[in-house]
Amino acid sequence: MALLSTTDFPLCINKTDNFSHGRIDLHSHTQCSDGGLSPQTLIDRAVNYQIAVLAITDHDTVAGFDIAQEYILEKNIPIKLISGIEISTAWQGFEIHIVGLNIDVKHDAIVKLIAEQQQAREDRAITIGEKLAKCGFPDAYNDAKHLAGDGSITRAHFAKVLYQQGHVSTMQKAFDQYLGKKGRNIQRAYVKPNWCSIEQAVEAIHAAGGTAVMAHPIRYDLSAKWLRRLIVHFQENNGDALEVVLPQMNPQQRQTMLNYCLEYDLHASLGSDFHHPNKWSDLGRNLTLPEGAKPIWALWS
């Protein structure tokens, strides 16, 4: 558990805040993208899990921030909400997620990037729908769109549709059989997305006053050589931090990520990547920055 003290987290030092103890979780999702809970229900859950500092980082949208912040103020909930976003980017044929934290959600640069990313999501969703129609699922686009509502449409919505309609036995199988791409192995309804570059994501985050974090570096299925290339590219383009800790990471993986931070002078972030309640992970669980890491919040004082 990441225990907070006012010296650890300078943002907390003001008379109205009382965050002397609690957990920090800087990566989570709501129904504004592919999370299962509304922003309000996520905040309620965060309170129950003793979260003191929470970032909502939905895919290519900041819609959850105002809703959650309003709820926090209305109910006087003792949580410091950090504005956030998880931006999908394209790099060398890989999809790399860049988390932006502590951004001005109304800044022109971020608003413009979100509009472009939403267009890319919509275009991709239409083509995924066409491919799935050819696989025998003619309503997949409409059903996924309905599930996504006003939020960002993601492949997770398509996966859920295929699962709920009994075409696959798990969401993972929807990715394995239709939506996914693993190395050169492209499934039948995989569509190459038109995401922005890492440089563009970092630039927009910085323009909006925020901090740029490479999300879950261990999840890209990269060899050590390619992961290092990615980290070098991120650092050379002014990236600020690596997500060094996710609940599922073992001590050795955490140490490896910390070593990259130290080698490339990057700060360290941590988060659960919570989407919906499940038995493997939850808000704030199993998150502690390893000793020697420079915490990302040191950049926020």
- For binding to Mn ion (CB under 5 A), which residues are involved? 34, 86, 97, 215, 273
Please report how close the Cβ of residue 156 comes to ligand AMP at its closest, in angstroms.
Answer: 4
Q: With respect to ligand AMP, which residue has the nearer C-beta, 45 or 155?
A: 155
Q: With respect to ligand AMP, which residue has the nearer C-beta, 25 or 34?
A: 34
Q: With respect to Mn ion, which residue has the nearer C-beta, 34 or 143?
A: 34
In DSSP notation, 220-252 reads G---HHHHHHHHHHHHHTT--EEEEE-TT--HH
Q: Per rule CB under 6 A, is residue 160 in the interface with ligand AMP?
A: no
Q: Per rule CB under 6 A, is residue 34 in the interface with ligand AMP?
A: yes
Q: Per rule CB under 6 A, is residue 175 in the interface with ligand AMP?
A: yes
In DSSP notation, 119-158 reads HHHHHHHHHHHHHHHHTT-TTHHHHHHHHHTTS---HHHH
Q: With respect to ligand AMP, which residue has the nearer C-beta, 77 or 120?
A: 120
Q: Pick from 233, 216, 213, 260: which is nearest to 92 by CA?
A: 233
Scanning the chain, the segments in alpha helix (DSSP H) are 39-48, 63-75, 108-134, 140-148, 155-164, 171-174, 198-207, 224-236, 251-263
Question: Of the candidates 229, 275, 276, 294, which one interacts with ligand AMP according to CB under 6 A?
Answer: 275
Q: Answer for the pair 100, 201: CB distance below 8 angstroms, yes or no.
A: yes
240 binds, among Mn ion, ligand AMP, none (CB under 5 to 8 A by kind): none
Q: With respect to ligand AMP, which residue has the nearer C-beta, 55 or 293?
A: 55
Residue 257 makes CB contacts below 8 A (sequence gap 6+) with 217, 218, 242, 243, 244, 245, 249, 268
Stretch that binds ligand AMP, among 9-17, 154-162, 204-212, 264-272 (CB under 6 A): 154-162
Q: Per rule CB under 6 A, is residue 274 in the interface with ligand AMP?
A: no
Residue 95 makes CB contacts below 8 A (sequence gap 6+) with 88, 89, 193, 195, 220
Q: Per rule CB under 6 A, is residue 180 in the interface with ligand AMP?
A: yes
Question: Of the candidates 165, 170, 172, 255, which one interacts with ligand AMP according to CB under 6 A?
Answer: 172
Tokens at 162, concatenated: 């295929």
Q: Per rule CB under 6 A, is residue 59 in the interface with ligand AMP?
A: yes
180 binds, among Mn ion, ligand AMP, none (CB under 5 to 8 A by kind): ligand AMP
If phi over 0 gives left and psi between -120 and 50 gives alpha, with beta otherwise, what is residue 95? beta
Please report how close the Cβ of residue 180 comes to ligand AMP at its closest, in angstroms.
Answer: 5
Please report how close the Cβ of residue 276 comes to ligand AMP at its closest, in angstroms.
Answer: 10
Taking the C-alpha atoms of residue 201 and residue 219, their distance in angstroms, rounded to an integer, is 19
Q: Per rule CB under 6 A, is residue 154 in the interface with ligand AMP?
A: yes
Please report how close the Cβ of residue 255 comes to ligand AMP at its closest, in angstroms.
Answer: 26
Q: Per rule CB under 6 A, is residue 57 in the interface with ligand AMP?
A: no
Taking the C-alpha atoms of residue 182 and residue 97, their distance in angstroms, rounded to an integer, is 16
Q: Which residues form the interface with ligand AMP (CB under 6 A)?
A: 34, 59, 88, 154-156, 172, 175, 180, 275
